[in-house]
Amino acid sequence: MSQEKVVQVLNDLAADVVMLEPGDLAGLGQLLNGLDELEKPEVCLGLDYLHPLAEKLRDAVVGIIYDEFAESEKSILLLSSLITEMQDALRNGGTSSVAPELAPDLPETAFGPENDETTVVEAVLCATPVDEIGTDMSAVESTAALAVESQEEDREENPEEDLAVDEELFAGVDFSQDEDLYQGFIAESNEHLDTIEENILSLEQDPENLEILNSIFRPFHTIKGVSGFMNLKQMNVIAHHLENLLDDARNKKFYLDGAATDLILDGVDFLKQMLLQLNHAICGGQPEPMPVQSFLNRIDTLHQVLLGVEPAQAAAAVFSESYAEDEVDDLQPPPKIGEILVREGAISPADLEDALTEQKTSAGIHPEQGPRKIGKILVELKKTDIKTVARAIRQQQQPQPKESSGGGSAIKVDTEKLDNLVDMVGELVIVQAMLKQDPDISALTTRKVAENMAQLSRITSSLQKVAMSLRMVPIKQTFGKMVRLVRDLAKKTEKEIELVMSGEETEIDRNMVDLIYDPMVHMIRNSADHGIEKPEERRAAGKNQVGTITLKAFHGGGNVIIEIVDDGRGLNVEKIRKKALERGMINEHDQPSDQELFNMILAPGFSTADKITDVSGRGVGMDVVKKAIEKLRGVVEVDSTPGQGSVVTIKVPLTLAIIDGMVVIVGRERYIIPTLNVVESLRPLPEQYHTVQGQGELIRVRDRLLPLVRLHQVFKCEAQTTEPWQALVVVVEHESEQFCLLVDKLVGKQEIVIKSLGERLKDLPGIAGGAIMGDGRVGLILDVAGLVRR
Amino acid sequence: MQEKNSDAADVRALATEHKCLTFHLADELYGLDILKVREIIGIQEVTKVPGAEEYLIGVINLRGKVIPVADLRKRFVLPVREYDVRTCIIVVEIAGEAGPVAIGIVVDAVDAVVNLRDEQVEKAPVFASQVNRDCIRGLGKFDKQVVILLDIDKVCATGQTAAEDAPERRGESRN
């Protein structure tokens, strides 16, 4: 009976190990529990030969909990090999005396700083099919010897490096098989790379922060893993090398300095470039070759340099000191294990004292081994047991990195599904309105019906609110990308710039996020290049030599307002006036206000920069910004105070999906004119109507003669009236060009959700899209710009 | 020769057994691959879209989505007639630039779903019908009836206006 039980426990253990990931303390704890079970006398009665193996397994688990193995993945492999051995031993009824010898002598070697033995075992296990272990000892020995030899030659050897990395990108990868898979990989990896970018910049300010380091390490690790799985060898190798570099930094072999940060950022760019190439390749294109090998060399060179320049024994000593003394320094590291244990009452403060003394003494005896872990010392001193320590370590690691985006958990949803949901909710609202207005239902006087109808409308309207909010995301993501931009710009222009952000939580339509990115980049570039002065210039002007660019986002009047403020030299009004005169935008006698002049820099090709830099100054940019923002139905404004800096205000609507529209009727059709384009509406008197030979019809509106466009003629439908003085004209405007639209009736103003008419009906002149009206039918939205061009 | 081959391939593509939705249009019975059909809805008021191709009579609201509607009578230049209670819109999915797009087609009446085996389908003869031959995948025969199997992707393809087809059609009918 007991044997069956042992088999079962072992199987459970094996399953646990398979699921185990590095750093998964809960999983390790479970392993320990399983081992306890195994060592109960009633369970392993008569199976004494399992004891040594179980001991070793326990030691290995404990070692992993203490994080004493350099490469935790390999140590997990070791665990699984040990369990396999136990299973084998059990099957052979204890005859497999070989196994214990094969297992590494853990207490001595594996806990030491060098754990070659474990890697050797791992190499053996890789080289020899598991079932041969213990049956063919000579083979094992020779393989092990080989492994040791090759390891002595090159400890860092990686199997991946055997491949010719400069071979054609993605050679031998068949994209047709799993296109979705690759596309998913690209999207995911890009997200990971963005995370790295954001985090690495905070690391620069706080190079010792392990949390940040981990949050950079993890994405690289994921990219490495997935790219390997997808057979994208070059990506895998690059991610792997960067990961190695970071791993050593994590293990405090060195700190990442500016050069290393630059390298990692370059690595991020390199990988992004590769992703682009990958995308290109998936679409059937030929990927361009990339200098994978030279980049690898760059990483390795820097890695060697960093390894060579030891972080000075002193620094390490200081670090171990602070660790040992439980000092809370300004970095605010997670609480110390000792503290947690004392708080939990697992040990007394006196025990902790003892352990700390022990730690210092041993550090003094074996300085080269680095500080010993306090938890381990406590266990050795029999003050507490492994499980308590493991629990404490788990607690210590609990506060997850701040990047885990606060507000609860999130899932990714296909935008198409989201759009469908929003569509359906829109329909629900229409049906609900129809029900409410149904004469038969309104005729019912039962209270129950009235109550239920009220409940229905409450639920539908809150459902609609939720559905609309699903599309909204915080602007944080876009702001986050600017951090890197400003850093790069500051380097390039040799200035010191600090980026301050506020209102990152402001929500904006998901589709808007991408569209607003480029204009923001342009504006920030301008601020950094033209606005902020060089440090010496700033000092001379009595300003802080570090310039500040402030990004602000907030809601106001149904819009999202983004302000880009710099405290640089401000705009030069005289220069702009001169330039405007040169370009004939104003003439000598004009007296434009400063405000008007500032906004002239938004005109195409307008640049006052004395020299063109590779950052900005070519005069493209500002008008691009203006165009892009206008496309989003937003506005850009510029303001400035000489010597104090300038402010660019971008105002965009909350969402692209909804516009304010004026509903008009022409014959039997309904059209919607975007309110943005509407100037006024009037019923002209017959004397306001003029015809001009060759010019068509005109309506005199106050002092101006505006061309008349008969909508029923343009759209070839029957109007109720054809005489302008019996109908209505709506004065519309596009790019300061005004004209009158002749319509039959004006129904009113309402908010409408824009719907595309589909690819069969796109690009029709004068029609911008469709909208579902209150009665469930489709109304067409007019494209005023298109009508002008007719 | 090549054209014949591709036609033969088209016929073969109609699997061994094949489900078709049949419908009436003018005096003929037509069929559509059932896999192309998303749903059938009653005729409803259509919003005219000015400037669109003649046979695209407008757009409707299909549960929150705006989809175009094509009148097959107009598409095949058949005599126009008033819609009645049996007039239907069959919502089909046709190949678009970025995946399938929905489009409604107005037919006189929907008939049935029939099973057609390969041997029941023949290549369309030259003067088969008033419909442009490009749009026909074959002729199906069952229960002494003949059903014209349409290639709905081609029927609704961009740039295929009734006017363009008309001269060709007249030419064919003279043959």
Give the gap in angstroms from C-alpha B170 to the nearest C-alpha of chain A: 27
**Mean pLDDT of all residues in A525-545:** 85
Residue A490 has a pLDDT of 86
Most confident of A44-48, A228-232, B80-84: B80-84
Top-confidence residue, A705 or A601: A705
Is pLDDT at A617 greater than 50 in this prediction? no
pLDDT of B170 higher than 50: no
pLDDT tens digits along A119-129: 444 444 444 44
A-chain residues within 8 Å CB-CB of B68? 757-758, 760-761
Backbone φ and ψ of A12, nearest 5° = -60, -45
CA distances from A389 to A66, A251, A342, A382, B120 (A): 9, 21, 11, 12, 78
Closest by alpha carbon to A187, among A415, A516, A487, A480? A415
Q: Give the three-state DSSP class for A733.
A: strand
Are residues A544 and A689 in contact, defined by beta-carbon separation less than 8 angstroms? no
pLDDT value for A393 = 65
Mean pLDDT for A542-556 is 88
Q: Do A758 and B68 touch (CB under 8 A)?
A: yes
Is B152 in CB contact (< 8 Å) with chain A? no
Contact A669 B59 (CB under 8 A): no
| Interface A:B, Cβ pairs < 8 A | 83
Measured distance CA(A103)–CA(A366) in Å, rounded:
27
Residues 115-144 of B with CB under 8 A from A: none
User: Is the pLDDT reported for residue B76 higher than 50?
Assistant: yes
> Of residues B129 and A74, which shows the higher confidence score?
A74
Whether A778 sits inside 8 A of B59 (CB atoms) is yes
Examine the pLDDT at A739 and tell me if it is beyond 50. yes
When mean pLDDT is compared across A9-23, A435-449, A538-552, A758-772, the lowest value belongs to A9-23
Cβ–Cβ < 8 Å for A673, A662: yes
Judged against a pLDDT cut of 80, whether residue A320 lies above it is answered with: no
The H or E element containing residue B32 is strand B28-33
Choose, out of A760, A763, A783, the residue to mutate when testing the contact with B (most B CBs < 10 Å).
A760
Q: Which residue of B has its CA nearest to A670?
A: B47
Contacts of A716 in chain B (CB under 8 A): 50
Contact A211, A401 (CB under 8 A): yes
Neighbours of A467 (CB within 10 A): 18
Q: Identify the residue with better confidence: A630 or A328.
A: A630
Rounded to an integer, what distance in angstroms lies between the CA atom of residue A428 and that of residue A457? Answer: 10
Write out residues 644-673 of A within 8 Å (CB-CB) of B. 669-670
Average confidence (pLDDT) over A344-357: 71
Give A504's pLDDT tier (boundaries 50, 70, 90): confident
Cβ distance A760 to B101 less than 8 Å, yes or no, reads yes
Rounded to the nearest 5°, which phi and psi values hold at A571?
A: -85, 145
pLDDT digits (tens, 9 = 90+) for A160-188: 444 444 556 666 666 666 677 777 788 88
Q: Is B97 near chain A, with CB under 8 Å?
A: yes
Distance in angstroms (rounded) separating the CA atoms of residues A260 and A237: 18
What is the C-alpha to C-alpha distance for residues A523 and A639, in angstroms, rounded to an integer?
Answer: 13
Lowest-confidence range among A379-383, A688-692, B118-122? A379-383
> Residue B173 pLDDT more than 60?
no
How many angstroms separate the CA atoms of B94 and B153, rounded? 5
Rounded to the nearest angstrom, the minimum Cα separation between A739 and chain B is 20
Alpha helices, DSSP H only, in A527-631?
A: 535-540, 573-582, 594-600, 622-631
A-facing residues of B in 52-81 (CB < 8 A) are: 52, 56, 58-61, 63-68
Whether A74 and A122 have beta carbons less than 8 Å apart is answered as: yes
* Closest Cβ–Cβ partner in B52, B64, B103 for A772: B64
Q: Are A714 and B50 a contacting pair at CB < 8 A?
A: yes
Return the higher-pLDDT residue of A454 and A347: A454
- Cβ of residue A431 closer than 8 Å to a chain B Cβ: no
The answer for residues whose C-beta is within 8 angstroms of residue A758's C-beta and 6 or more apart is: B66, B67, B68, B96, B101, B102, B103
Helix (H) / strand (E) element for B47: namely: none
Q: Which residue has the tokens 């009037």?
A: A682
Using DSSP's 3-state secondary structure scheme, residue A473 falls into strand
Provide the shortest C-alpha distance from residue A425 to chain B (in Å). 8
H-helix or E-strand spanning residue A486: helix A476-493
pLDDT at site A332? 45
Task: Compute the distance between CA of residue B142 and CA of residue A608 in angstroms, rounded to an integer.
Answer: 79
Q: Please judge whether B45 and A760 are an interchain contact, meaning their C-beta atoms are less than 8 angstroms apart.
A: no
Q: Looking at residue A699, what is its pLDDT?
A: 87
Residue of chain A whose Cα is closest to the Cα of B65 = A423
- Inter-chain CB proximity A759 and B96 less than 8 Å: yes
pLDDT at A340: 66
Per CB-CB distance under 8 Å, the chain A contacts of B41 are none
Is B68 in contact with A757 (Cβ distance < 8 A)? yes
A487 confidence band (pLDDT: 50, 70, 90): confident
Domains of chain A, first to last: 2-157 (no CATH), 176-311 (1.20.120.160), 314-397 (no CATH), 415-471 (1.10.287), 489-653 (3.30.565.10), 658-789 (2.40.50.180)
The domains located in chain B, with CATH, are 2-174 (2.40.50.180)
Taking residues A340-348, what's their average pLDDT? 67
The 3 state secondary structure assigned to A690-717 is EEECCCEEEEEECCEEEEEEEHHHHCCC
At position A628, the amino acid (one-letter code) is A
DSSP secondary structure letter of residue A130 = G
- Of the CA atoms within 13 Å of residue A446, those in its CB half-sphere come to 7
Segment A460-465 shows an average pLDDT of 87
- Give percent of chain A with pLDDT exceeding 90: 2
User: Is residue A618's pLDDT more than 80?
Assistant: no
Predicted local distance difference test score (pLDDT) of residue B108: 92
**From A670, A759, A761, residue closest to B59, measured CB to CB:** A761
- Chain B partners of A427 at a C-beta cutoff of 8 Å? 61, 63-64
pLDDT score of A323 = 41
A761, A762, A790: best to mutate for the B interface, most B CBs within 10 A: A761
Contacts of B45 in chain A (CB under 8 A): 777
Phi and psi, residue B49, nearest 5°: -115, 105
User: Hunting for tokens 């892009």 — which residue is that?
Assistant: A628
Question: Is pLDDT at A472 greater than 80 in this prediction?
Answer: yes
Measure CB to CB from residue B51 to each of A423, A756, A765 and give the nearest one: A765
In this prediction, residue A121 carries a pLDDT of: 43
Cα distance from B95 to chain A (closest Cα, Å)? 11
Backbone angles phi, psi at A344, to 5 degrees: -80, -10
Do B48 and A717 lie within an 8 Å CB cutoff?
A: yes
Q: Give a three-class secondary structure readout of A211-248.
A: HHHHHHHHHHHHHHHHHHHCCCHHHHHHHHHHHHHHHH
- pLDDT score of B92: 93
Chain B nearest-CA residue for A764 = B51
Q: Is the pLDDT of residue A700 over 80?
A: yes
Look at B61 and A716 and tell me if their CB atoms are within 8 Å: no
Find the mean pLDDT for residues A371-393. Answer: 66
Q: Which of A622, A619, A656 is nearest to A636 (CA)?
A: A622
Mean pLDDT comparison of A259-273, A597-611, A615-629, highest-scoring range: A259-273
pLDDT recorded at residue A9: 77
In this prediction the ipTM stands at 0.77
CB-based contacts of B4-10 (< 8 A; 24+ apart in sequence): B7/B123, B8/B123, B10/B137, B10/B138, B10/B151
Whether the predicted pLDDT of A144 surpasses 60: no
Nearest to A778 among B60, B96, B158 (CB): B60
Range of weakest confidence among A44-58, A292-306, A319-333: A319-333
What 8-state DSSP symbol labels residue A69?
Answer: S
Those of residues 362-421 in A touching chain B at CB distance below 8 A are 420
pLDDT value at A357 more than 80: no
> In this predicted model, what pLDDT tens digit does every residue of A620-666 receive, in sequence order?
567 778 888 888 888 888 888 888 888 989 888 877 777 888 999 88
Q: What is the pLDDT of residue B105?
A: 93
How far is it, in rounded angstroms, from Cα A683 to Cα A726? Answer: 7
Which among A778, A782, A783 is the top mutation candidate for probing chain B, defined by the most B β-carbons within 10 Å of its own β-carbon? A778
Cβ distance A242 to A189 under 8 Å? no
